[in-house]
Amino acid sequence: MSADQPVTVEVGLGDRAYDILIGPGLLARAGADISRRLPGTRAAVVTDENVAAAHLDTLRAGLERGSIQPAIITMPPGEKTKSFAHLEEVVDGVLAAKLERGDVVIAFGGGVIGDLTGFAAGIVRRGMNFVQIPTSLLAQVDSSVGGKTGINSPRGKNLVGVFHQPKLVLADTGVLDTLPIREFRAGYAELAKYGLIDRPDFFAWLEANWEKVFSGGEERAEAIAEACRAKADVVARDEFETGDRALLNLGHTFGHALEAATQYDGARLVHGEGVAIGMALAHRFSSRLNLASPDDAARVEAHLRDVGLPWRMADIPGDLPDADALLGFITQDKKVSRGALTFILTRGIGQSFIAKDVPASEVLSFLKDNHPASRKAG
């Protein structure tokens, strides 16, 4: 694979279908790829300080080669940027650049920037064109695909937002070389998630090839493309998360509760780490409910441990709220419907399913037994 031949994955949404291009060197040709699909547009690029320092010059040059002179809007890095205050900053920046509805807003960063920028693009002028250029592994395989955008509330994660599909996703695998190892691992949790949902062969492939995925090259691009295909398939079936798409939340109900419990402090827990712990908890909870073998939970935990990810609540530095408070965060999660708890559980590796009406008492008991304060915590 060369920069001239990226892997293309199509997200099939009829007249709103769009391509995900995956490969090295895509920043340098971003202007041409965007102009081909959105000719004559002007653009605003929303990024964060870290990404701007590492890659903005390359992207700007790539856009200018396609005759796009971008306005730049720079945000602070971190989960706390997904807020009303920073949403207002982005909206004001786009309006200050005098962009019209047919122009394009480009998200250039990780999942935080993608979610924030997509939300802004979805509401400015009642909906502007939107392009994702994800710079983290997590964003390339998950948050940049599918059109879910939003910000956090003090009451929970991603509770305010819209569905707003991009026109194009450019996943430049080369930018991942500058990603801190902790962030790469966090993104890897979402890669593993696709295997655990319904691709057991992919999970087995990751168990055998994860070191090559970390080191780069063909295996990295192959893993990203397979994850994007998996997500694209689900999004095409269920764009607005009324059915199957909820499967993509494997690990997220526990994970989001842990993120809220740490007040979105990235020094303690980043999103992908929360998902990793959440996936391990979901498999362990499924075993506790006699839905799956404990061997499957052990296998998931072993793989997460091998790649250096946290896999239990005790791996989070600092104190956590008690089990009752954690349950409170879970009941506030947007995947609750009319008070009933909905979890993604599993009957085995690659056999995840949507479990509705999960008894809160079972969840509370499980949280107590797995809380770091409990001597039973694994």
Here the CATH number for the domain that contains residue 212 is 1.20.1090.10
- Together in a domain, 231 and 114: no
> What's residue 357's pLDDT?
87
> Rounded distance, CA 229 to CA 157, Å?
26
Does residue 46 carry a pLDDT above 90? yes
> Is 186 a member of any domain?
no
- Together in a domain, 325 and 251: yes
Residues paired with residue 267 on neighbouring β-strands, in sequence order = none
- Together in a domain, 321 and 365: yes
> What's residue 226's pLDDT?
96
pLDDT digits (tens, 9 = 90+) for 303-343: 999 999 999 999 999 999 999 999 999 988 655 666 679 99
* Percent over 90 (pLDDT), the chain: 87
pLDDT digits (tens, 9 = 90+) for 267-296: 999 999 999 999 999 999 999 999 999 999
- Together in a domain, 231 and 336: yes
> Is 189 a member of any domain?
no
Residue 368, phi then psi, degrees to nearest 5: -65, -45
Chain-centre distance for alpha carbon 168: 17
- Together in a domain, 33 and 102: yes
Residue 336, phi then psi, degrees to nearest 5: -95, 135
Report how far apart, in Å, the C-alpha atoms of 217 and of each of 136, 226, 230, 239, 289 are.
16, 15, 20, 31, 41
Last residue of a domain, one of 179, 210, 227: 179
pLDDT digits (tens, 9 = 90+) for 1-28: 444 689 999 999 998 999 999 999 999 9
Q: Is the pTM of this model over 0.85?
A: yes
- Together in a domain, 103 and 151: yes
> What's residue 1's pLDDT?
46
pLDDT digits (tens, 9 = 90+) for 335-377: 566 667 999 999 999 999 999 989 999 999 999 999 999 855 4
- Together in a domain, 208 and 90: no
Active site residues: 126, 148, 190, 231, 241, 245, 249, 252, 256, 271
Amino acid at 38: L
> Is 377 a member of any domain?
no
Strand order in the sheet with 104-109: 7-11, 18-23, 168-172, 129-134, 104-109, 43-48, 70-75
Last residue of a domain, one of 179, 214, 246: 179
> What's residue 336's pLDDT?
64
**Domain interval for residue 168:** 7-179
**Which residues have a Cβ under 8 Å from the Cβ of 95 and sit 6 or more positions away?**
124
* Percent over 70 (pLDDT), the chain: 96
